[in-house]
Amino acid sequence: MPYKEKRVEKLYYSIGEVASMFNVNTSLIRFWEKEFDIIKPKKNKKGNRFFTKQDINNLHLIYHLVKEKGMTLNGAKKKLKENKDDTTNNFEIIKSLTEIKNLLLEIKENLN
């Protein structure tokens, strides 16, 4: 049986890593942190932010609402405040469908 190396998941991500995940500036991440109370990164004594996987999921949801759907910040705040569960479920469905679409496109490309 071949040896399989386990994929290591990080517990904390720096603000630079998070900004590069979304291809945005670190200032936007800091701004969203102030605007949305669902983002609560840990801070060390120097004030460096460390984001958990949950923070990144919340940022991904905010990114989807603001950048992809074109909502205003106030609109996104209101939507998350009123029905965060429905918004999260819809976002997860969209994410899953996008992954399936990409997989199917890759299979189609390999068949040609």
Domains of the chain plus CATH, in order, are: 13-82 (1.10.1660.10)
- For residues 111 and 84, the answer to whether their CB atoms sit within 8 Å is no
Measure the CA–CA gap between 1 and 15, rounded to whole angstroms.
40
Query: Is residue 36 a contact partner of residue 58, using CB atoms and an 8 Å limit?
Result: yes
Average pLDDT over residues 47-65: 91
Instruction: Over range 79-95, report the average pLDDT.
Output: 83
Report pTM. Answer: 0.74
Please check whether residue 38 is in contact with residue 80, taking contact to mean a CB–CB distance below 8 angstroms: yes
Average of pLDDT values for 68-85?
87
Three-state DSSP class for residue 91: helix
What local confidence, expressed as pLDDT, does residue 32 receive? 93
CB atoms within 10 A of CB 65: 20
Name 75's Cβ contacts closer than 8 Å, sequence gap at least 6. 65
